[in-house]
Structure 1
């Protein structure tokens, strides 16, 4: 269980429920925004692939640039903290968030000249700077959410924030796809390929430079508005009672080092499955990519359902209503939001009957949460075990049975990030912020594991049996939840 670092002194004024709720509201808005902007990469890839006539491998440089920036930013943060002392301890969590927001806004603004000059490398630089800002934002925001309230409910707060983050990742492809391929697609002069022909979307609409410039200018404005909100909102401060020390003190904590590996494998497996899902569905049941993306929404939406459930089950809620009833209500209401978004985007061509198998896995998810008994570590290893079973079942099955089995994985990986993070920074004391940067460095798995699974898929002649790659990732997560998270004095 996470604890407030021993070197942090919390002022009495910051203990008030009202202040904490206000701070958590602001923070969840940040989580929503970086979920929305991160998943926009899935929309950028086909846009840039057409714009620059890229190969499949070339277009995946978008994800490589994005996740490499997370690693680079977190590595730089760690090196600075080891030589000159932890920057977050010096400037404070609030200023750390502000710096991250301003950097992300600058990265978004660079999309304008990148599109104007039609330079793919410039786009990758813009993505890199954007992701650097998001990395710094998360280095400051994740531990701040954990320490802003009672230690016993740290995982609950992180799951709530991650649930709002998942709302952003669920709505991002729908909103981003609409603006880039529909609304702004008719603004300005159409793009031309090397043969002088108009570049068109899959629906036949001409593509324009403004289609990618204007949405990212809007994102830059939103980041600046959020920066103003953070600046002028009274957030609880956490004063350091001990001196700021140099060195790589965080690496002395065994459970943090093992947690870094856990984050690496978690992010790698999550991104890998999500990145390959549309092609896998097409390969599995022959559904066109334009329809397969609707199923992808249920994968990411499953994370949202699970995270909202995690926020409830890992909280200290004193509701007198049956927990089963509350959890069922949360699940069904969230599923309704996901289905409504998919139905609107698809012109109501996605039948309700298609979703019925998902209800079985939601019921299994509810049972798994109850078995976890509000314990982050126990919940982590139970969910990891279930995901291992789902992957094995999917590789043995075929057709829609395998399809929904893979999609349901989203429900059970939902709480893994927040639970791993909470367990990994437990009892780090003055090393908390440095430990957070090391954990953020480990999202490099999102750049490497998908490449490995893709390589294996080429070797075995399809995606179906390549899922043993993420299976190995969840074997390690099972170990971390069972044994690896324990603090060794």
Structure 2
């Protein structure tokens, strides 16, 4: 009897999972760049979060461009080119972004670095669209989910190691570089880092190009027409651009120049106070009076300016949520022309994924600024690396445990591995940071939070709705604890946001795509576009931090978890109305 089982192309798979590693490595490494750039380029918290804005909006725009061109040509570009060729194009585009980063770093231009990250992420957008289905083609379709989960596990390993390597490139082997010293650091190692990254992008592209045994993954099937969905997305993009432009313009305004000037005067006066002899009480009193007057003048100008910025950012958020809500109600009346957007589970899921990526990125991106405050340790930018690594490592802890369900293990073995894998992943994070000469003693007891996550896994029972309910509730509880405490307890609580987020992506995807039939691929593309949340939510939290402080800015993250809980509850009812059972479905 002939064995027709398709063998896995392991050399191609190993090359592909390197691509998965890149996504996590660069994304998590940005969390080290954010506090560094804030000090190095003298930015406020909102401006520092533009790193996330540039990186994650590229995913959205890349997906929108692919969808738009596909609609115009009547064919999906990724399947028309083929998965292999699409990944090659994406890798070369990311290599171009790495080159742009090198030029920007050499010139010490922050906007140039943002452009480099944007170009790199555009390449990632194309790679990510093609990589998951390509992984399924590299072997037996029945084991395709295992290969995708392997890629996800390697992606999480990249998020754990990325902060360590980027920190080394920025700060060298010195354990603590104070924030004043950051302004004088050389960026030669950053140039070397992105030279290596660019080389690896090109090398991976060459491996894909010259390998003759790889499937092309081409398809000539016509794309499902969705003119109303496309129109909605284009209008949303234009309105989003128009609402963000005024925010950026305020940083070139006369009011902003006055704010900068007054802040410099205040800093100068404070330095003068420090240099005074303790006996010179009269001059000290005069300086303190001058500082108080300057602070009053500063607030008079700054408060209205910050309120204006926050108003426009709120409008940008409303544009995204309002556009999707509008599509939700309009598509109820007439489904023709809406394509995948005619399904409420998808539209509500798009918002859920927007919130999910937003909260996942925002917690980590603002973590560095939080840890610099007295209530959270007064750490220098160079000392936050192990905490950022642990936050993104929390994603790995959850995903390694979540990947177990994709394998054909016995029930007892699954239960055992669900307990063991989180501890193994936790040990990997501790070991990696210890090898990088970071003191991890402050994070040993974080294992308690890992135990709570393990309990959450057993409660959720691999059911997508229950998983979202349990883990969003976990996130809400963690944020409430973090907002109402300080010190180690609060740090552990905010880090636990990573544990809560770790398993949400597949559950949201699964539920949003249920019952879409021929529109499943299109719905998947719409969901990937909602990575946009990582570009919108963090800057909004950053601006809120400029106004009310970094600690309470995490209210934004709390709201995101609350919506995900709402989605988990409402989507079950939506699917049941369509006659779709969700209790039998697993992640």
Compute the TM-score of the two structures, normalised by the length of structure 2.
0.70
Provide the rounded CA distance (Å) in 1 between the counterparts of 2:528 and 2:213.
26
Alignment of 1:82-161 (within 5 A): 82-84=71-73, 85-145=75-135, 158-161=148-151
1:254 aligns with 2:359: no
1:74 alignment partner in structure 2: 63
1:162 alignment partner in structure 2: 152
The structure 1 residue matched to 2:388, chosen from 296, 308, 312, is 296
1:305 CA drift (Å): 0.6
1:58 alignment partner in structure 2: 47
1:419 aligns with 2:507: yes
3-state SS, counterpart of residue 61 of structure 2: helix
Instruction: Judge which range, 244-253 or 70-79, deviates more.
Output: 244-253
Calculate the aligned-residue CA RMSD, in Å. Answer: 3.3
Provide the rounded CA distance (Å) in 2 between the counterparts of 1:87 and 1:403.
45
Provide the rounded CA distance (Å) in 2 between the counterparts of 1:302 and 1:374.
19
3-state SS, counterpart of residue 186 of structure 2: coil
**Contact between 1:108 and 1:130, CA under 8 Å: does it hold in 2?**
yes
1:171 CA drift (Å): 0.7
The structure 2 residue matched to 1:305, chosen from 391, 397, 405, is 397
2:559 alignment partner in structure 1: 472
1:329 alignment partner in structure 2: 420
1:444 alignment partner in structure 2: 532
In 2 relative to 1, CA 458–417 (structure 1 residues): closer, same or farther, beyond 3 Å?
same
Give 5+ residue unaligned stretches, structure 2: 228-338, 580-587
Alignment of 1:2-13 (within 5 A): none
Q: Deviations over 1:278-321 (max 9, x none)?
A: 22234333341343432222111111010000001x22422475
Provide the rounded CA distance (Å) in 1 between the counterparts of 2:39 and 2:489.
34
Provide the rounded CA distance (Å) in 2 between the counterparts of 1:121 and 1:456.
22
1:226 aligns with 2:216: no
Provide the rounded CA distance (Å) in 1 between the counterparts of 2:553 and 2:173.
37
Provide the rounded CA distance (Å) in 2 between the counterparts of 1:388 and 1:204.
35
1:211 alignment partner in structure 2: 189
The structure 2 residue matched to 1:315, chosen from 393, 399, 406, is 406
Q: Deviations over 1:236-269 (max 9, x none)?
A: 5656585444435332333222221111000111
1:427 CA drift (Å): 5.2
Provide the rounded CA distance (Å) in 2 between the counterparts of 1:379 and 1:253.
22
**Contact between 1:163 and 1:303, CA under 8 Å: does it hold in 2?**
no
2:316 alignment partner in structure 1: none
Compute the TM-score of the two structures, normalised by the length of structure 1.
0.82
**Contact between 1:265 and 1:445, CA under 8 Å: does it hold in 2?**
yes
Provide the rounded CA distance (Å) in 1 between the counterparts of 2:143 and 2:514.
13
Provide the rounded CA distance (Å) in 1 between the counterparts of 2:439 and 2:389.
15
Q: Deviations over 1:445-485 (max 9, x none)?
A: 112212332344444x3333333322221122223334427
1:484 alignment partner in structure 2: 571
1:271 aligns with 2:361: yes
Provide the rounded CA distance (Å) in 2 between the counterparts of 1:357 and 1:67.
33
Give 5+ residue unaligned stretches, structure 1: 1-11, 185-198
In 2 relative to 1, CA 455–106 (structure 1 residues): closer, same or farther, beyond 3 Å?
closer
3-state SS, counterpart of residue 18 of structure 1: coil
3-state SS, counterpart of residue 406 of structure 2: coil
Structure (1 or 2) with the larger CA radius of gyration: 2
1:366 aligns with 2:454: yes
2:259 alignment partner in structure 1: none
1:233 CA drift (Å): 6.8
1:22 CA drift (Å): 5.7
Provide the rounded CA distance (Å) in 1 between the counterparts of 2:569 and 2:140.
24
1:39 aligns with 2:24: no
Provide the rounded CA distance (Å) in 1 between the counterparts of 2:94 and 2:220.
31
In 2 relative to 1, CA 215–277 (structure 1 residues): closer, same or farther, beyond 3 Å?
same
Q: How many residues align?
A: 457
3-state SS, counterpart of residue 408 of structure 1: helix
**Structure number with higher relative contact order (C-alpha < 8 Å, ≥ 6 residues apart):** 1
**Contact between 1:272 and 1:446, CA under 8 Å: does it hold in 2?**
yes
Instruction: Judge which range, 147-156 or 123-132, deviates more.
Output: 147-156
Instruction: Judge which range, 151-160 or 296-305, deviates more.
Output: 151-160
**Contact between 1:372 and 1:379, CA under 8 Å: does it hold in 2?**
yes
Q: Deviations over 1:198-238 (max 9, x none)?
A: x9976679533533322111111111122233332744565
